Structure 1
Amino acid sequence: MALNPNDLRLYLVTDPILCAEHGVIGTVAAAVAGGVTFVQLRDKTASTADRVALAGALKDALAGTGVPFVINDDVTAAKAADVDGVHVGQDDMAAAEARAILGPGKIVGLSCESAAAVSAVDPRIVDYLGIGTVFATATKADHKPTIGMDGLAALCALAPVPTVAIGGLKATHARDAQMSGADGMAVVSAICGQPDPEKAAKEINQAMGDLR
């Protein structure tokens, strides 16, 4: 599917532990009802078979919403489940290889933490960039050094494709992330693990306002 930059506005990355109260599917469904515009299934400890099974259930839950849905890192699972695409990091499968496996009709997202990484992006291969880590986050213990809002703005200015800010972001950061030039903001704990994921998503959307 073709990626519209507006799809990145409020990007949810799932966490199986934080989502435990409502379940991943329940959390995602509630969050989309609250205005989430993009979903990434991330579970670093699951098997490919488990990711494929969960992805199938999530596809059913997202049917008719128009919300793009990708799987983190596991290109095999993304292809088997026939989701909208994959998101890879600098230490995962190369974006060019992921594109070759998935084909031209799927979304390939790439994490970038430096100017060198952003400058090396080929827009014929990569559809969007996850820029960060903006702030420290407990949901990804092995994240690279933080770049802050100034670093986010600098990398967004270099990006040849749409961008989504990620890393320790909450509703209070929404306007700053937008002003930095990012097309959207990715969150994990700001929605996953919240007592009311739908309400949490609505509050972030309200904080974003109508800048875009």
Structure 2
Amino acid sequence: MPPSVEGLYAVTPDGLDDARLFELTAAALAGGARVLQYRDKSGDAARRLRQATALRRLCRVHGALFIVNDDVGLAERVGADGVHLGRDDGDIAAARSRLGPDAVIGASCYDQIALARRALAAGASYVAFGAVFSSQTKPHAAAAPLSLLAEAAALGANAVAIGGITPDNAARVIEAGADAVAVIGGLFEAKDAGEAARALSGLFTAR
């Protein structure tokens, strides 16, 4: 059975060079991130393999789950814990068949509980909703009401919230029922990624 996705879920931004990416990721993991998703849209296969391999090692050191965005083949090649798939990124059932019963497979469900139902039926480990707040990463993303988190819980789903989440507003999302909060800018653009990670992680230990 796949492990649960809970707590602070760090998502890497596009465009960071190796040194900066590894520095900020190490700080976020040391600060309490329990899951790391590697997200890189560059199309540079060598870069993606190099970075994913190094990030997987970092996650092992810190006892965190390592998830690859969109790319089942890369996840398999580097020994990731799983993959996260968007609406147009591939078939969940096929990913489950390829990666095995213990893989973590996440599904973006945007603002639609119907997508969550279908994803879970196909074998997803968790469902993600967003943007729960205005997001600089995806400024045109549909607004996802926090009530979706309670609806997902009623389905027995592990629910992740994403979109504009920071240490200042994350408590609202957790109180609404999120098992995990996925954070990009609130971590990787913070003055101190480790401090931001500690603040966000502390909201889970305090509840």
- With normalisation by structure 2, the TM-score equals 0.89
Encode CA deviations 1:107-163: one digit per residue, 9 max, x unaligned.
Answer: 1111112021112233571111111221221212553x112323x335434443211
Query: Are residues 1:38 and 2:35 paired?
Result: yes
Q: 1:61-72 counterparts in 2 under 5 A?
A: 61-72=58-69
* 2:44 equivalent to 1:47: yes
Aligned position for 2:133 = 135
Q: Which residue type is aligned with residue 57 of structure 1? A: A
SS in 1 for 2:120: coil
Alpha-carbon contact 2:13-2:184 (below 8 Å) kept? yes
CA RMSD of aligned residues (A): 2.1
> Structure 2: any 5+ residue segments left out of the alignment?
none
Which residue of 145, 165, 168 maps to 2:164?
Answer: 168
1:159-211 Cα offsets, whole Å, 9 max, x none, are 43211111111112222111111111110000012221101111222344521
Q: Deviations over 1:64-112 (max 9, x none)?
A: 3220001000111111111111000112101111112212221111111
Q: Indicate how the Cα distance of structure 1 residues 15 and 175 shifts in structure 2: closer, same or farther if over 3 A, else same.
A: same
Q: Number of residues paired by the alignment?
A: 206
The letter of the residue matching 1:188 is: I
Equivalent residues in 2 for 1:1-212, closer than 5 Å: 2-4=2-4, 7-17=5-15, 19=16, 23-113=20-110, 114-122=112-120, 125-141=123-139, 143=141, 145-150=142-147, 152-211=148-207
Change in Cα spacing, 1:59 to 1:157, as seen in structure 2 (3 Å) is closer
Show structure 1 runs of 5+ residues with no match: none
Residue identity opposite 1:40 in structure 2: Q
1:83 is paired with a residue of what secondary structure? Answer: coil
Amino acid at match of 1:129: V
Normalising by structure 1, report the TM-score: 0.87
